[in-house]
Structure 1
Amino acid sequence: MTHSITMFMVLISILALANGSYLYPQFYDRSCPQAKQIVQSVVAKVVAKEAHMAASLLRLHFHDCFVKGCDASILLDSGGSIISEKGSVPNRNSARGFEVVDQIKAALEKVCPQTVSCADILALAARDSTVLAGGPNWEVPLGRRDSLGASLSGSNQNIPAPNNTFQTILTKFKLKGLDIVDFVALSGSHTIGNARCTSFRQRLYNNSGNGQPDLSLDQSYAAKLRPNCPRSGGDQNLFFLDPVSPRKFDNSYYKNLIVSKGLLSSDEILFTQNQQTMQLVKQYAANQELFFQQFAKSMIKMGNITPLTGKRGQIRKICRKVNG
């Protein structure tokens, strides 16, 4: 497995060179040799206190990369000409972990001022969170720089939504250079974390505008969800995405889909709407190691979506605002 991921890293590096960007795991070995250790130790402390933060940090990296590429635009607060992505539909009342990133950045600034980008912090924290939750490890290619702006409209349009159709989500992945295999593997991050009632309510009561629940959701599971997710109110009530092992990064997410217990519509459609994704779900449900290998590869690939490198962008001193 390690060999195949190493070969994959070499291939990604060659592709990155061809695209005029170049990320590689040793980027900070000279300029800030303690960088990876500092990120890892802050993430470990935070996740030990609050296990759910692992999923939140992993999600921040996704929500960053899907907008303008992996450039830490999601971290910017509104100010001046910047309208923050934090207010978008996918992020409002749900994106979190910003204080953790601030903490990591402050620790890095003490040791290596203006050296490690906020975008690289997000990529490292996502990997460390996965490992701490029991998931796979991988070498994170580094060398991203931080954006000088945000895109609220990009955040609203590009991030896959829980009620998007299969084709819409696949298209959103393809527009970022990710394929159907990446779609299934990266969805497996829903093995940890929570979803809000508002993200799946329509499946319980009025799935296709006909006043009927979604019959692709196990009905006894639906009955358990309804008391805390009523027809109205309780929008922010939280539910485990994987009720079997909610804090463990494993393959039970895929096993849930096979028995119609995918919480979000965007999860269950992987098993019900497409032959190829159904086969992948079955493979990952049967073979956790295979899922882990592909998840690591897909995370590396996602982390390479149009990064800013060289002289483009900047290294922000504070992740929430561009340097004055």
Structure 2
Amino acid sequence: MAINNSNYLLISLTFFLIAFSSNHANGEVLKVGFYHKTCPHVELISKEIVDDVISRVPSLAAPLLRMHYHDCFVRGCDGSVLLDSPTKQAEKDSIPNLSLRGYQIIDKVKTALEKSCPGIVSCADIVALVARDVTVAVKGPSWEVETGRRDGSVSNITEALFNLIPPFANITSLKQGFLQRGLSVKDLVVLSGSHTIGISHCSSFNNRLYNFTGKGDTDPSLDPNYIKNLKKKCPPNDQNTLVEMDPGSVRTFDNSYYKLVAKRRGLFTSDSALLDDSETKDYLKKQGINQYGSTFFKDFGESMVKMGRVQVLTGNQGEIRKVCSRIN
């Protein structure tokens, strides 16, 4: 589906300005330890559930990490991606979100927290905490999660389609999408490193293998040997086969993603696009040298904190949902 770029920019900018001015006037900010007195065991409860789940189903780490991004880039980090719609018109029903999984894990954490400290912890904060916990569970970095978000009450299928950056985005669209949300070019390339875990359907990159410009050609930015390997897994028009985004390291959070992209083996157009900007290209080449000399883990935690502040509801805004999939 084609998206009118001017409408996309207008909608995104409007959401950002409304949320920014509202939060500024509210005078509330997120902080580490927001639930220190009201729900002191919130982080322990989340971690114990996540560790148990990932030990049994490690493939859930990537979609649960992605869920935080998919939430924050539409209406801000307000838990709106979790809401159900009886007519299938919520964010989770939008095409970019159909591959999200793990909602039941968010619900499991919420149920445990409602038992321990009812009506206190927002679903938006649970999404942020779980994103950190699954990253740690697959040997990635830890960071201090700021909390104090409130839950939104609106979830719209069209807004998700307009505001989530697609895997075929070029470097200009990527930079604009991040900058509109107060995130830097560095944040863009750092958070792209989350593709070190997870899988994708062939449909997300099939055009790069068979019909890149509509003439039956391949994407020249991809390594030809990588194209051969991908074609073996993904026949033309394949919509269902799953492929590892970071082959050989799909269940371990590390810096190998940057090594692959530098070798022109980024699975998505948006991955390859990082080579089209001097700042992103310089960062990925530096981070791909070796794991121990890399600043990727430190940078990732910092960028996740920044993303977690996007258009948040705080103070008396929004609500604390009793059930994450529906408003009170």
- TM-score, normalised to structure 1, is 0.90
Q: Does 1:277 align with 2:275?
A: no
| Aligned mates of 2:262, 2:204 — CA distance in 1 | 21
- My pick for the range that moved more, 209-218 or 99-108, is 209-218
Any idea what the Cα deviations from partners look like across 1:144-203, whole Å, max 9, x if unmatched? 010011122221111111111211121111111111100000000000001111100001
Deviations 1:236-266 (A, max 9, x none): 2111110031111000000001111111111
- Superposed CA RMSD in Å reads 1.6
Q: How do residues 126-205 of structure 1 correspond to structure 2 at under 5 angstroms?
A: 126-205=131-210
Check whether the contact 2:26–2:314 (CA below 8 A) recurs between aligned residues. no
Q: CA deviation at 1:20?
A: 3.0
Query: What's the CA shift for 1:18?
Result: 8.7
Q: Partners in 1 of 2:27 and 2:265 — Cα distance?
A: 43
For residue 257 of structure 1, the aligned residue among 221, 243, 261 is: 261
SS of the equivalent of 1:68 reads: coil
Name 1:23's counterpart in structure 2. 30
Alpha-carbon distance in structure 1 between the residues aligned to 2:265 and 2:224: 9
Kindly state the Cα deviation for residue 21 of structure 1 after the two structures are TM-superposed. 3.2
Q: What code does the residue aligned with 1:47 have?
A: I
State the secondary structure of the residue aligned to 1:321: coil
Alignment of 1:51-62 (within 5 A): 51-62=58-69
- CA deviations on 1:37-66 (whole Å, 9 max, x unpaired) are 111111111111111111111000000000
Match of 1:247 in 2: 251
1:293 lines up with 2:306 in the alignment: no
Amino acid at match of 1:259: K
Q: Is residue 71–residue 144 contact of structure 1 (8 Å, CA) maintained in 2?
A: yes
Q: Would the aligned equivalents of 2:26 and 2:315 in 1 still touch at CA under 8 Å?
A: no
Structure 1 residue 287: Cα displacement: 5.0
**1:21–1:307 Cα contact (<8 Å) kept:** no
138-147 vs 284-293, greater mean Cα deviation: 284-293
- Rounded to whole Å, the distance in 2 between the matches of 1:284 and 1:192 is 16
Distance 1:21 1:239 in 2: 43
Which residue number corresponds to residue 208 of structure 1? 213
Picking from 315, 319, 323, the partner of 1:318 is: 323
Deviation at 1:215, TM superposition (A): 1.9
Q: Residue deviations 1:54-106, cap 9 Å, x none?
A: 111100000000000000000000048x83111112112x0111011111111
**What amino acid sits opposite 1:283 in the alignment?**
K
Partner of 1:43: 50
Q: Tell whether 2:67 aligns with 1:63.
A: no
- Aligned pairs (5 A) from 1:77-156: 77-79=84-86, 83-92=89-98, 94-156=99-161
Partner Cα distance (2:150, 2:74) in 1: 15
SS at match of 2:96: coil
The equivalent of 1:7 in structure 2 is: none
Q: CA deviation at 1:127?
A: 0.5
- 1 CA distance for matches of 2:26 and 2:100? 30
1:17 CA drift (Å)? 7.2
| Mapped partners of 2:212, 2:185: distance in 1 | 25
- Give the deviation of 1:227 after TM superposition: 2.9
Matched AA of 2:78: D
The residue aligned with 1:73 is: 80
Question: 1:25·1:139 contact (CA, 8 Å) conserved in 2?
Answer: yes
**Counterpart position of 2:241:** 237
Paired letter, 1:238: L
Cα distance in 2, alignment partners of residues 295 and 260 from structure 1: 22
Structure 1: gaps spanning 5 or more residues: 1-15
Per-residue deviation, 1:226: 1.4
Question: Taking structure 2 as the reference length, what is the TM-score of the superposition?
Answer: 0.89
**Count, aligned residues:** 304
| TM superposition shift of 1:210 | 2.2
Which residue identity does 2:283 align to in structure 1? L
**What is the rounded CA distance, in whole Å, between the counterparts of 2:156 and 2:174 in structure 1?**
19
The answer (yes or no) to whether the contact 1:244–1:252 under 8 Å persists in 2 is no
